[in-house]
Amino acid sequence: MRTPFIAANWKLYKTVHETVVFVKELRSLVKDAGDIEIVVAPPFTAVHAAAEAARNSPIAVAVQDVHWEREGAFTGEISAAMAKEAGAEFAIIGHSERRRLFHETDETVNRKAIAVLGAGLFPIVCVGETLEEREANATLDVLDRQIKTGLDSLTGDQVASLVIAYEPVWAIGTGRNATPQQAGEAHAHIRSRLRAWFGGTAADLCHVIYGGSVKPDNIHELVMLPDVDGALVGGASLDVRAFADIVARSRQSAV
Ligand code: PEP
């Protein structure tokens, strides 16, 4: 049985001070949340402060990206080991905004996944089709390519420890989320590919979460789907009460 997994992706929002205030309030709001993995991904500057504020709580911290090298002449970048030292336990990689705005490819996602695992962090690997790809009936092919290349050379044990976030690009920040049928089909497909390529244990243990305009009022119908293990939440995660509500409603769905 996979524990529900709810992650907040704050993108380019929140200062150190705002992060600490949020995490302290979230701690008290989720103190009875039970068996749920809760992750917040602040900007790099607030990662350490978030980890300190979350110490001895059910909240873990993620970075929103990493470089694949350990060190070197890569101005502006941070490594997975640096993220870990700052207190992160997870790293989001391959977010569609990184792919679209910063030219990330399935190959760089793969290098990052290997680096993140090598540093002892857990990757949250984002996949998902654009609207044009969906309308061209290419969704499942796109997912196959992103997963095959993005997870290339990973072992079954490594895949078992991953989180894959299915985020249809047309649903991110648009208020337009996938229908349960669309999400269910994509998640079932991802799970079947994990089973075929990495084995039954990897497929059973890997968390596959949904992202794209998740809110308190639509989380329930999503996490009720058999292959949806939680959510990666952007906009609605900036408000601590909305995010805590999403956490609480995921738990209700799990019991
Ligand atoms: C995201 O940024 O990963 C995301 C899913 O954003 P939103 O919830 O705002 O659609």
Best mutation site among 214, 238, 239 for ligand 1, i.e. most ligand atoms within 8 A of its Cβ? 214
Closest by Cα among 32, 12, 16 to 251: 32
CB 99 within 8 A of CB 128: no
| Domains of the chain with CATH codes | 5-254 (3.20.20.70)
Closest by Cα among 39, 59, 34 to 255: 34
- d(CA 100, CA 70) in angstroms, rounded, equals 24
pLDDT of the chain, 255 residues: tens digit per residue: 799 999 999 999 999 999 999 999 999 999 988 899 999 999 999 999 999 999 999 999 999 999 999 999 999 999 999 999 999 999 999 999 999 999 999 999 999 999 999 999 999 999 999 999 999 999 999 999 999 999 999 999 999 999 999 999 999 988 888 999 999 999 999 999 999 999 999 999 999 999 999 999 999 999 999 999 999 999 999 999 999 999 999 976 654
Count of all residues that appear for the chain in the document: 255
Confidence (pLDDT) at 173: 85
Nearest CA to ligand 1 atom 8: 234
Structure tokens at 189: 């497909």
Confidence (pLDDT) at 174: 87
Q: How far is the CA of 45 from the centre of ligand 1 (A)?
A: 20
* Single-letter amino acid, residue 179: T
Q: How far is the CA of 90 from the centre of ligand 1 (A)?
A: 17
What is the atom index within ligand 1 of the atom nearest the CA of 11? 2
Best mutation site among 11, 13, 14, 167 for ligand 1, i.e. most ligand atoms within 8 A of its Cβ? 167
Pocket of ligand 1 (CB under 6 A): 9, 167, 172-173, 211-214, 232-236
Q: Is 132 an annotated catalytic residue? A: no
Confidence (pLDDT) at 133: 96
Nearest CA to ligand 1 atom 7: 234
Confidence (pLDDT) at 106: 98
Q: How far is the CA of 177 from the centre of ligand 1 (A)?
A: 10
Closest by Cα among 194, 234, 188, 196 to 215: 234
Nearest CA to ligand 1 atom 2: 234
Q: Locate tokens 């805590």: which residue?
A: 244
What is the atom index within ligand 1 of the atom nearest the CA of 231? 5
Nearest CA to ligand 1 atom 6: 234
Confidence (pLDDT) at 252: 64
Q: Is 167 an annotated catalytic residue? A: yes
Closest by Cα among 143, 210, 203, 234 to 5: 210
Annotated catalytic residue, options 95, 187, 189, 207: 95
What is the atom index within ligand 1 of the atom nearest the CA of 177? 10
- Helical axes 139-150 vs 180-198, angle rounded to 10°: 40
Nearest CA to ligand 1 atom 3: 234
Q: How far is the CA of 242 from the centre of ligand 1 (A)?
A: 14
